[in-house]
Amino acid sequence: MGCADVKQLLLCTGDVTKNLKSGIWNTSRSASNLELIKALENGNFQELKDTGDVADSHTKIFVAPNDPLQNLDGKADDYEIIAKLFFLDGKNINVENRRETTDQVFQYLNQLLGIQEVSTLVVSFPNVAFSKKNLKDTPDSQVYSSIDQIPKEEIQSWIDTWKIFEEKVRQGKIGTLGISEFGVPELEQLIPNVEISPESTQINTGGLCELPLDLTKYTEQKRLKVFLHSDPAALIDEKEITEAIRHACPNFPIRARADWVVRYTILSRKTSVIHRKGYFVKGSLI
């Protein structure tokens, strides 16, 4: 099957802690997606031929040849696995599609890396950013300036999507849940309407030196951990995913849309050292 027959692609970066060497950094990119973008730019992806039942007939999987996928060595209990799922469906939110995405994520983690469960799953919804300072919308992303601007249907989609992850917790696939970029107004919409509350919220403060007082009080009341991060609202856009796919399929004539990204970080429980870290990027052809 040639590239012209492909409807979807999965790009697997391999272990970015090995792939990224000193000297590749571009100071014009200060956000954490530099790691992903550079891994895609330098991947020279090759098609994974022996996929078994991992992908359907319309999906091709590409991996970085210098770091072939391999199952975890040792026992699962030896590692803490943190996965962050970025939904990039801001223009076409569909909860059933998100259910399919969630199932795909766990299928790929299991069959490509031997990961059957994650210690923590952090969820990143589109169109939401904690700090609006110096925020620039991309063609694929619209960030609301306040909770009052967010349609009720989209807020309901957070709740309905969260229930999908609650099912995974009950199935033993997820240990704890976290949320990304949710401040007090967003947390107040989510937490009262779900059964399993997030244990943490990750926020990009946009350079603020101190956390807002309302967030500090609310997270203390709800016993939520607050982590700072530098992830942008969308890790990758249409132009970047298209360029990455062109590396996988030279002279590819069609644009592509990034559907979702998963970043997995595997830590040794004994040493707290990163054992492996990488990304799965799912794209659809436009």
Task: Say yes or no to pLDDT of 210 above 90.
Answer: no
Count up the domains in the chain and report the number. 1
Return the higher-pLDDT residue of 116 and 142: 116
CA dihedral 269, 271, 276, 280 (to 10 degrees): 40
Give the whole-angstrom CA distance, residue 188 versus residue 48.
Answer: 44
Strands 118-124 and 46-47: unpaired
DSSP 214: H
pLDDT at 197 over 90: yes
Rounded distance, CA 83 to CA 277, Å? 10
Average pLDDT over residues 220-233: 88
User: Which two tokens mark 120?
Assistant: 């923590």
Q: Where are the beta strands (DSSP E) in 131-234?
A: 174-180, 200-203, 225-228
Binning pLDDT at 50, 70 and 90, where does residue 29 land? very low
- CA–CA gap between residue 180 and residue 189 (Å, rounded): 14
- Quick: pLDDT tens for 97-107: 999 999 999 99
Using alpha carbons only, give the angle 29, 32, 38 rounded to the nearest 5 degrees.
Answer: 65
If you average pLDDT over each of 31-35, 72-76, 176-180, 269-273, which comes out highest? 176-180
For residue 181, give both structure tokens.
Answer: 């970029």
Residue burial 222-261, b: 16+ Cβ < 10 Å; e: rest = eebeeeebebbbbbbbbebbbebbebbbeebeeebbbbbb
| Mean pLDDT of the chain, nearest integer | 83
Tell me the mean pLDDT in the region 77-95: 92
53-81 per-position pLDDT tens digit: 555 567 788 887 666 677 776 676 888 99
Residue 54's domain comprises 3-285
CA atoms of 13 and 39, how far apart (whole Å):
6
Calculate mean pLDDT across residues 194-200.
97
Q: What per-residue confidence (pLDDT) applies to 255?
A: 81
Q: What is the pLDDT of residues 32-57, one digit of tens each?
A: 678 888 888 776 778 887 656 555 56
More confident residue, 252 or 259: 259
- The pTM score is 0.89
Mean pLDDT of 166-194: 97
pLDDT in tens, 130-170: 876 645 544 445 788 889 999 999 999 999 999 999 999 99
Give percent of the chain with pLDDT exceeding 90.
44
Structure tokens at 185: 């107004």
Taking a C-beta distance cutoff of 8 angstroms, is the pair 196, 168 a contact?
no
Tokens standing for 19?
């792939």
